[in-house]
Each structure stands twice: as C-alpha cells, then as structure tokens.
Structure 1
Amino acid sequence: MSLHAALGYSRHDPLAVTLVLRFPGTAREERWAFARDLLDEGMRATAGLSDVRIRCVDQEQLLVELCNRSGYVAMILDRGDVRGFLHDCDLLVPVGRESIRPRLDAFLATLLP
C-alpha cells in the first residue's frame, strides 16, 4: 500500500517532530509525534526501541518503522529530504536551544491554585 507521509515541526514543541500519514482514497490520517533527536540519531545509526525505530538503509534511504496496538507500518524516506527537514528545524530552533520552561510553567499554573 502506498502512503503519503509528511514531516512537521513547530517551534512551540521544539523537542518533537510529527509524521502525518495519509491513506490514499480515504480521509484516514495517522499522526505520530516523536523526539526530534530520534530522527537526527536515526540519520547516523539505528535509533529507537519501541513504537518508533529509525535506521539508514543505505546512503540515500532511511527506514522508519512505526508500531502500536493498531498495527505496523514501515516506510522509506529520502535521507536528503530528511536532512533538509532537520536543517530547517535547526533554523527555527537550534539544537540545544530548545526551551520548554515557559510551556511547563504555564501547564503547572493550570494545576496549582
């Protein structure tokens, strides 16, 4: 089965990337969120242990495997495209400069009187 996959990133959640899978001929869409670092690590070596696993197939291809109770999907992504995506993420929020403190403070304020 052929899927459409799109990577996404938001400076509002700087530690995560999203992978949206769209199933042709249907309105079905699956959204996965995982660590930006995991995607970056997977560009160099096998990364991930459970729901998301990423590894290089060769110099041009990256294998992304997703699994949960609903099923399993494996897809090949172009490493050049992923490299460009990670570069764009780095332009928005450089690696090491991700700050979740303002969001954490806002969340904690909703929990504490």
Structure 2
Amino acid sequence: MSTVIEQAVQARMVASSPRMETVPATLRYDLEDPFAVSMAFPPRATLEGVEVSWAFSRELLAQGVDGPAGVGDVRVRPYGYDRTVVEFHAPEGVAVVHIRTTEVRRFLERSQHLVPAGREHQYLEWDKWDDELAALLEEYS
C-alpha cells in the first residue's frame, strides 16, 4: 500500500477583479507526517513564479468543510453549495482559493483509510523524532 496520497484539484483563486482564475493544485497526505496535509500550487499561480506548498493540519481541513476553522496562517470554511474556502495568510498578503467540497471530502476519506483520525500518533516514527530532536538540541547547545 502506498504511504502517500496525492489528489489533483481545481482551485479557483479569488482576486480583487470579478473574475476568478482556475488553477490546478495538489492536495497531499504523507504517512511520514500523519497529522498534516499539504496543498501545492504550480509556478503560474504564485507571485514568486515557483511552486509553493502549504502544510497544515489534516484536522483543520476536516473541520473547515463543515464550519469555520483556523485562526493562524491557514483558515478553512464552507462557502455556499459544494465549495470550501481555504485562506493562506502570509506577510505578502492573503491568497484565497475555492475548492469543491466533494473533492476535499474524497481526499480526506482516502487519507482516513491510510490513517484513521485520532490514530495519527500510532504512525509516528518515534526513533526518527528522537534523532531530530537530539540534533536540534545539539545545534542550540
């Protein structure tokens, strides 16, 4: 069984103009970080002209399809019929995208088959975390 789930989605970028540009994006879930999901945007959809990926809590995404969730850099909320809004807050500004809720739910269901919600801690590689923590503490001592 694969330890990574990727799903292409169409994201509608909300801009100040009345037109919303549709761009491809990729939702990703990796067993190596069972608490997180990421959403990547191609170079043409970013200010820097390079692929940009945002990582955030899978739980945040799951909560946001049913009601407003998040208070930090990433916020998620339902919007109208079959739309989920994801806001990405950065010093350069805020990017707002709309994604079909059915696509988000399908992605979340696939990730739940790999790692059920509430059991993420069982999939952590504690030895790896111990090594990384020891290296980090060594760096600052």
Q: Report the TM-score, using the length of structure 1 for normalisation.
A: 0.87
The answer to whether the 8 A contact 2:77-2:84 is kept is yes
Q: Is the 8 A contact 1:4 1:23 kept in 2?
A: no
Structure 1's unaligned 5+ residue stretches are none
Could you tell me how far apart the structure 2 residues matched to 1:109 and 1:37 are? 28
Higher mean C-alpha deviation, range 68-77 or range 9-18: 68-77
Residue number in structure 2 paired with 1:61: 83
Question: Do the aligned partners of 1:2 and 1:24 also contact (CA within 8 Å) in 2?
Answer: no
Supply the AA of the counterpart residue of 1:35.
S
Q: 1:61: Cα distance to partner? A: 0.5
Say how many residue pairs are matched.
113
8 Å CA contact retained: 2:23, 2:45: no
- Pick aligned residue for 2:44 from 7, 24, 28: 24
Structure 2 gap segments, 5+ residues each: 1-20
**Contact 2:60/2:69, CA 8 A, preserved across alignment:** yes
Letter in 2 for 1:14: P
Runs of 4+ in 1 over 6 A off after TM superposition: none
Q: After the TM superposition, which of the residue ranges 19-28 and 30-39 deviates more from structure 2?
A: 19-28
Identity %: 35
Q: Which residue of 113, 117, 126 corresponds with 1:91?
A: 113
Deviation of the 1:70 alpha carbon: 2.4
Root-mean-square deviation (Å): 2.1
User: Using the alignment, how far apart are the partners of 2:64 and 2:32 within structure 1?
Assistant: 23
Q: Larger RCO: Structure 1 or Structure 2 (Cα < 8 Å, ≥ 6 residues apart)?
A: 2
> Contact 2:28 / 2:38 at 8 angstroms: preserved in 1?
yes
Greater Rg by CA: 2
